[in-house]
A and B are shown apart, each in its own frame.
Chain A
Amino acid sequence: MILRPTREDWKLIGWGIGRVILAIGLLMLVPLAIALISTEWNTVLNFLVGIFACVTFWLVMENTCYVKRDLSWFHGLIVASLGWLVAMAFGAIPHFLSGHFKSYLDACFDLMSGYTTTGLFLLQDLDHVAHGTNMWRHLLTYAGGQGIIVIALTFLFAGTAGAFKIYASEGKDEQLLPNVIRTARAIWMISLTYLVVGSLFLWFGLMKDGMPVGRGLLHSVWLFMGAWSTGGFAPQSLNLLYYHSLLIEMITMIIFVIGSFNFALHYTVWTGNRREIYRNIETRSFAITALVGTFMLSIGFSKVGLYTSLTEFFRKGFYNLVSGHTTTGNSTVYATSFFKEFGFIALWAITLVMAIGASACSTGGGFKGLRMGIITKSLWGDIKSIVSPESAVVREKIHHVKDVWLDDALVKGAMLIVISYVVIYAVGGLLGTIYGYSPSVAFFDSVSAGSNTGLSAGLTTPLMPALLKVYYIFEMWAGRLEFMSVFALVGMGIAVVRGKRSGRR
């Protein structure tokens, strides 16, 4: 029997979303400060309007929706899924007011792309964007990488027993520490440490290449935020191609690969278990799939006679492959090169690794290395049981922080999520093909959106059809939340229409 949500359920959801929006409003203080320092008065005004809207929404929710009850799993899932959509609408206000967007839909597209660490963008004239707006783009993706809910948890949900439910609903179902608030703070500790170290290296590299100190500092922080979060945003429209620097490419590549690692892996390595780095199923899975991708890329490039020297292959081929695999989207080639120069095999090599994606409980998207490991091990176990004597019991295990024995529920869960990804990739690809784009391009961009990568073969522009923009927003959102929260939201919709009235949930 499906139960219709009660008035109290709605209030709890509204209260939780209010807190999430307050977190967005507080985040806007950073670009506001940058705009003030840069004396960009129009941008200051844009962010003041945004902050006012967020705080007003929070005040209304706090005063009308507060109930003395804790969040259940149902509430957590709905707060996560709806919270991201409402956060998109509020976060898009300063973007839209900046005048760099064709429509509010385009501003929402960039917001969702930022939050979900995708990196696709519809912003126009990026090279002349105000510092405050650029800081907002990169901060969004940096914060989104840790998770909007993680931000809210860190500062605004302390002491709430239901906190774990909304934390897990955001697609991060691993607790580093017994307490979820401490887990959220540990995630921030790791990210902020890397922010300082990574930005310093990039700053040094940019100054070595002749960039002025102040500009170099801003670019280094922005590049770090884009790479670490596996968002792939950069302050210039040419992305990494703008810098023409092997050193910057190497540093960003190290940052985004590490950024794509599981936070549980970082935590384990940082707290003394060094061997975990090569024992972990996700590191192994990533290494194997990256090598398979390299193999395909090498064959593809050999066939079309492209990037034949080792340096060229590394900078134009391997860099973009790994950027796609970690679902980052930083790029060292023009968007159209993927379609016009790479050739069929290399283009599909990148599409394949984008679909597979990064690690679970990381800033990245896609199927995730953990699921690939589970499914591969399970298949291997099935093969072994076929060739073994009938009486033999074959059980497989994976190593992820600790040894985990595979059971049907684990494999089924992994398969369900992977199938869900395949479905959204395929629908996006077919939709693009129906609109007249080449199937290779349509699938490349659809997989890029659904896996939260951000590489584009040229389809994603402000001129693309509005329906495709809406569908890509859906893909980015559903892919980032890993479907469970989205399924819960659909379930709630059904419950509202067809559910029966009940007492307390």
Chain B
Amino acid sequence: MAERDGLESHSGAESRWRRWAEYALGILIESSAVIAISLAALLLMLLIKVIMT
């Protein structure tokens, strides 16, 4: 019976490449979140710079 409770133990039908593609997508989504927060911060900094000058 397929185990569903571990990162390393997806169901037997799922191929290895698909599992790794899911991990890659996870990494991509997390990285995008960091970039989005950084861009928002830089925009805020620009806004403050414009207001202060």
Q: Which residues of A contact B (CB under 8 A)?
A: 177-179, 182, 185-186, 189-190, 193-194, 197, 253-254, 257-258, 261, 266-267, 269-272, 274, 277-278, 283, 286-287, 290-291, 294-295, 297-299, 302, 308, 310, 313-314, 317-318, 322
Q: What chain B residues lie within 8 Å of A182 (beta carbons)?
A: 5-6
Q: Given A186-B6, A291-B37, 9 more contacts at CB 8 Å? A: A177-B5, A185-B6, A185-B8, A257-B34, A258-B34, A270-B22, A291-B44, A295-B44, A317-B45
CB of B7 within 8 A of CB of A270, answer: yes
Inter-chain CA distance A286–B38, complex, in Å, is 11
Inter-chain CA distance A189–B27, complex, in Å, is 13
The chain A residue sitting closest to B24, CB to CB, is: A197
In the complex, whether B49 has a CB less than 8 A from a CB of chain A is: yes
The chain B residue sitting closest to A278, CB to CB, is: B33
Inter-chain CA distance A257–B38, complex, in Å, is 10
Q: What chain B residues lie within 8 Å of A283 (beta carbons)?
A: 33
15 contacts between A and B (CB under 8 A): A177-B5, A190-B7, A254-B34, A254-B35, A257-B34, A257-B37, A271-B7, A271-B22, A272-B22, A274-B25, A278-B33, A287-B37, A295-B48, A298-B48, A302-B52
Q: What chain A residues lie within 8 Å of B33 (beta carbons)?
A: 277-278, 283
Inter-chain CA distance A182–B8, complex, in Å, is 10
> Known contacts A254-B35, A270-B22: does B41 contact A294 (CB below 8 Å)?
yes
Output the least CB separation between A265 and chain B (Å).
8
Q: What chain B residues lie within 8 Å of A258 (beta carbons)?
A: 27, 30-31, 34
The chain A residue sitting closest to B27, CB to CB, is: A197
- Bitwise, B7-43 to A at CB < 8 A (1) or not (0) is 1100000000000001101110111011101101110
Output the least CB separation between B33 and chain A (Å).
5
Inter-chain CA distance A177–B38, complex, in Å, is 32
Output the least CB separation between A189 and chain B (Å).
5
Inter-chain CA distance A242–B44, complex, in Å, is 29
Inter-chain CA distance A269–B33, complex, in Å, is 12
> Known contacts A270-B22, A272-B22, A302-B48: does B6 contact A253 (CB below 8 Å)?
no
The chain B residue sitting closest to A298, CB to CB, is: B48
Q: Chain A binding site: helix, strand, loop or mixed by DSSP?
A: helix
Q: Which of B6, B30, B49, B52 contacts A269 (CB 8 A)?
A: B30
> Known contacts A254-B34, A295-B44, A310-B42: does B5 contact A270 (CB below 8 Å)?
no
Q: Which 8 A-B pairs have the closest CB atoms?
A: A270-B26, A298-B48, A294-B41, A257-B34, A302-B52, A298-B45, A189-B7, A269-B26
Inter-chain CA distance A312–B6, complex, in Å, is 43
Q: Which of A257, A286, A313 contacts B45 (CB 8 A)?
A: A313
CB of A310 within 8 A of CB of B7, answer: no
The chain A residue sitting closest to B52, CB to CB, is: A302
State how many residues of chain B have any CB contact under 8 Å with chain A. 26
Output the least CB separation between B23 and chain A (Å).
6
Output the least CB separation between B8 and chain A (Å).
6
Inter-chain CA distance A270–B20, complex, in Å, is 10
Q: What chain B residues lie within 8 Å of A190 (beta carbons)?
A: 7
The chain A residue sitting closest to B46, CB to CB, is: A310
Inter-chain CA distance A425–B40, complex, in Å, is 30
Inter-chain CA distance A70–B30, complex, in Å, is 39
Output the least CB separation between B5 and chain A (Å).
5
Inter-chain CA distance A257–B8, complex, in Å, is 24
CB of B49 within 8 A of CB of A294, answer: no
> Known contacts A182-B5, A277-B33: does B23 contact A270 (CB below 8 Å)?
yes
Q: What chain A residues lie within 8 Å of B8 (beta carbons)?
A: 185-186, 189
Q: Which of A294, A308, A314 contacts B44 (CB 8 A)?
A: A294
Q: What chain B residues lie within 8 Å of A271 (beta carbons)?
A: 7, 22
Interface hub of B26, B37, B49, B52 (most chain A Cβ within 10 A): B26
The chain B residue sitting closest to A299, CB to CB, is: B48
Inter-chain CA distance A320–B49, complex, in Å, is 19
Q: What chain A residues lie within 8 Å of B26 (beta carbons)?
A: 266, 269-270, 274
Inter-chain CA distance A190–B30, complex, in Å, is 13
Interface hub of A194, A271, A283, A297 (most chain B Cβ within 10 A): A271
Q: What chain A residues lie within 8 Å of B46 (beta carbons)?
A: 310
> Known contacts A182-B5, A193-B23: does B41 contact A291 (CB below 8 Å)?
yes
Inter-chain CA distance A283–B33, complex, in Å, is 9
Q: What chain A residues lie within 8 Å of B29 (beta carbons)?
A: 269, 274, 277
Q: What chain B residues lie within 8 Å of A310 (beta carbons)?
A: 42, 45-46
> Known contacts A295-B44, A298-B48: does B30 contact A266 (CB below 8 Å)?
yes
The chain B residue sitting closest to A251, CB to CB, is: B31
CB of B41 within 8 A of CB of A254, answer: no
The chain B residue sitting closest to A257, CB to CB, is: B34
Inter-chain CA distance A270–B24, complex, in Å, is 8
Output the least CB separation between A23 and chain B (Å).
21
The chain A residue sitting closest to B53, CB to CB, is: A302
Inter-chain CA distance A277–B31, complex, in Å, is 10
Inter-chain CA distance A269–B26, complex, in Å, is 6
CB of B6 within 8 A of CB of A308, answer: no
Inter-chain CA distance A422–B7, complex, in Å, is 37
CB of B45 within 8 A of CB of A294, answer: yes
Q: What chain B residues lie within 8 Å of A266 (beta carbons)?
A: 26, 30
